[in-house]
Amino acid sequence: MNASCPIFPASPDCRRGFTLIEVLLAVVIFGVVLIAMHAVFHGALRLRNRTAASLERAVPLQQTLAIIQRDLANVVLPGGVLAGHLQAIPTQQTEPGQAGPFWYTAVGILSPTMPWATVQRVAYRLTQPTNDTLGLDLYRSVSRNLLPVLTDLAEDQFLMSGVEALLFEYHDGTQWRDYWDSTVETNSLPAAIRLKLYLAAGQTNRLLEQPIELVVPVVVQPSAQSATNQTAAAG
């Protein structure tokens, strides 16, 4: 080193560059920082994808449960021209893939351009998927024109995909039953209706251990005089 460096540290003779060890150390530190940033970014991206996929699966499920709950909560008392009997018997199923009886429910919306009543006939159907998704597709078939002299084609509304099974159970005030026939029951409608929705379980395509359950109380019940009249008419 030049003897003038301590006196003149900024002189050209005192300038020097980085050593190889210092450069390698800087590169290693920079690489470690990049690896850490990549790991954090990759983890955040995977979390974002899982969250988006969960939301995509949850939204149709929540909408489906809300629609079914609305239909069951507004079920109409059997009797008259526009409301048939509630017969939850497998041999009574008249539509392919029908997963439940016909529900007569007052969920229709009156409109000046649509001359339909509020009472509609609803059935749920499970069909084979039209794409490569697991499980079955769930449809809601709606018949708006219930006059017996006319033939009305049901309108299919897609609800969700990835359904393995759809079961309905009926509470008679004491226990749950898997059948109901309003023509022979003391009460035309059950005290509550329970839905069990089985989803296709990921890659295994097997039933989940626990189904999604929805219990809907039925608040529409016939009066004592109506029940007496129905019993007398049946006799």
**Structural domain boundaries in the chain:** 54-234
The CA–CA distances, whole Å, from 75 to 22, 34, 71, 85, 107 equal 80, 61, 6, 11, 9
- Which two tokens mark 113? 């351009």
**159, two tokens:** 């609800």
Mean pLDDT of all residues in 180-191: 86
Q: Is the pLDDT of residue 224 over 70?
A: no
Q: Are 89 and 181 in contact (CB under 8 A)?
A: yes
pLDDT digits (tens, 9 = 90+) for 92-125: 455 667 778 888 888 877 667 766 778 888 999 8
**Cβ proximity of 141 and 110 under 8 Å:** no
Q: What is the pLDDT of residue 64?
A: 92
User: For the whole prediction, is pTM greater than 0.75?
Assistant: no
Give the residues across from 17 on adjacent strands: none
- Tell me which residue of 197, 163, 166, 200 sits closest to 88, measured CA to CA: 166
Per residue in 27-79, pLDDT tens?
888 888 888 888 888 888 888 777 777 777 778 888 999 999 999 988 988 87
Res. 82 pLDDT band, cuts 50 70 90: confident
- pLDDT band with cut points at 50, 70 and 90 for residue 225: very low
**Under 8 Å between Cβ of 107 and 133:** no
Q: What is the C-alpha to C-alpha distance for residues 159 and 61, in angstroms, rounded to an integer? A: 8
